[in-house]
Amino acid sequence: MSSTQFDGDIDSFVSYLKSNRGLSANTLKAYRADLTACLHLFELRGVTDLNEITLDDLRSWMAVESRDHARSSMARKTVAVRGFFAWTYEHGLTTTDPAATLMTPSIPSTLPAVLTESQAEQLLDVAEHAVATNQYKDDGGAAAASVSGSGKAADKSADTVHRSEAPARADKRDNARVTAESQRNAAILELLYATGIRVAELVSMDIADIDFSNRTIKVTGKGNKQRVVPFGLPAQRALETWLEQGRPVLARTATDAVKSRAANALFLGARGGRIDQRIARDIVHRAAREAGVPDISPHVLRHSAATHILDGGADLREVQEMLGHSSLKTTQRYTHVSIEQLKNRYGQAFPRA
């Protein structure tokens, strides 16, 4: 990221947002990058004072940026710039607010992609089957090795037995790790679909955030806002299997430093640290391929959960609370998906459609 002579002003603005607006770390990072890129462009054009920037300059900046960025990205960039200049004006850093009438690009309304209920069921069934298959291999492989070894022990020297033990132990560790990862993956998929939480919320969860007695989780969402979300029996079973059997296996692979940092983490990566968003996304993409359903992201599971809950008769306000939407308008998008699906089913099933 390029630095500018206005970095101090940008830092102060971001600090103000962090203290007063409760924005997420990702949003603050994006705003900082947007403002740095914008002001760097003006700096290249010879601007040395924020008061020199006019509305026409900002429109010129938007024209340049819009060549390489989608409308959704431009909308965020515009919000960042408008907020920044409103702040500089309020705090006496500029004598006017050149961005006051800067228009935010309109974003075309698109319906979120969702899985059908049968596709979601297939996705979760395949993940559950993978757990059962790996557990069978793990237990069966160990038993087979034991039977084979006992039958031939009399014909082997002590040296040969000792040499064969190390690879056998390594194979067993590998089998245990693969089983643990499949248990983790199944729990992640079940929880994402059961609760509709965001992937960032998933990876930041701690074990203490789960209340098995009430079958709820405590979720820390955007702006550090907390909410309580229920989950069903299949998710409970998957979480219990992961916590009781899989998590201890992956936790043992961690170094002491990693182990201390991830001691409370709900989900772990292959090396025993807290799982990151990239790995969680890969798990969902890979599971979709293996299940033969459309390639999806964790956010599509969120969309699917919301749509299926509404289809089941849930109240719109309840779904808004569950998803952590600040605006009911955002949640209403899912009613449009349900209506579209209803129209499709109607067209397929009704003879006079």
pLDDT in tens, 162-192: 545 555 555 667 788 999 999 999 999 999 9
Does 346 or 204 have the greater pLDDT score? Answer: 204
**93: Cα within 13 Å, side-chain hemisphere:** 17
Comparing C-alpha atoms, which of 309, 190, 197 is closest to residue 240?
A: 190
Task: State the DSSP code for 327.
Answer: -
The reported pLDDT for the residue numbered 72 is 80
Active site residue 40: no
In tens, the pLDDT along 121-166 reads 999 999 999 888 876 555 554 444 443 444 444 444 445 445 455 5
Residue 185's identity, in one-letter code, is N
Q: What is the mean pLDDT of residues 60-78?
A: 87
In tens, the pLDDT along 200-245 reads 999 999 999 999 999 999 998 877 788 888 899 999 999 999 999 9
The one catalytic residue in 184, 302, 303, 308 is 302
The one catalytic residue in 198, 247, 274, 308 is 198
Residues forming beta bridges with residue 226, ordered by sequence position: 220
High-pLDDT (> 90) share of the chain, %: 46
The reported pLDDT for the residue numbered 190 is 95
Residue 219: enclosing H or E segment and its boundaries?
A: strand 216-220
How far apart are the C-alpha atoms of 99 and 60, rounded to whole Å?
Answer: 12
Measure CA 158 to chain center. 52
Task: State the DSSP code for 275.
Answer: P
The answer on pLDDT for 327 being more than 80 is: no
Active site residue 302: yes
The reported pLDDT for the residue numbered 144 is 40
Per the listing, tokens 């924005």 go with: 23
How far apart are the C-alpha atoms of 55 and 47, rounded to whole Å?
Answer: 14
For the chain, the 3-state helix, strand and coil shares in percent, each to the nearest 5, are: 70, 5, 25
CA angle 41, 47, 49 (to 5 degrees): 125
DSSP for 49-113, written as a single string: SGGG--HHHHHHHHHHHTTTS-HHHHHHHHHHHHHHHHHHHHTTSSSS-TTTTPPPPP----PPP
Are 284 and 301 contacting, i.e. CB atoms less than 8 angstroms apart? yes
The one catalytic residue in 222, 227, 237, 333 is 222
Active site residue 163: no
Burial of 86 from C-beta contacts in 10 A (0-12 / 13-18 / 19+): middle
Active site residue 137: no
Active site residue 299: yes
Q: What is the C-alpha R_g of the chain? A: 27
How far apart are the C-alpha atoms of 251 and 262, rounded to whole Å?
Answer: 9
DSSP for 120-172, written as a single string: HHHHHHHHHHHHHHHHHHHHHHHHHHHHHHHHHGGGS-HHHHHHHHHHHHHHH
How far apart are the C-alpha atoms of 197 and 155, rounded to whole Å?
Answer: 58
Comparing C-alpha atoms, which of 296, 202, 189 is closest to residue 234?
A: 189
Helix axes 158-195, 298-311, angle to 10 degrees: 50
In tens, the pLDDT along 8-37 reads 999 999 999 988 887 778 889 999 999 999
Q: C-alpha distances in angstroms, 44 versus 6, 99, 139, 320?
A: 12, 20, 66, 45
Helix axes 298-311, 316-323, angle to 10 degrees: 160
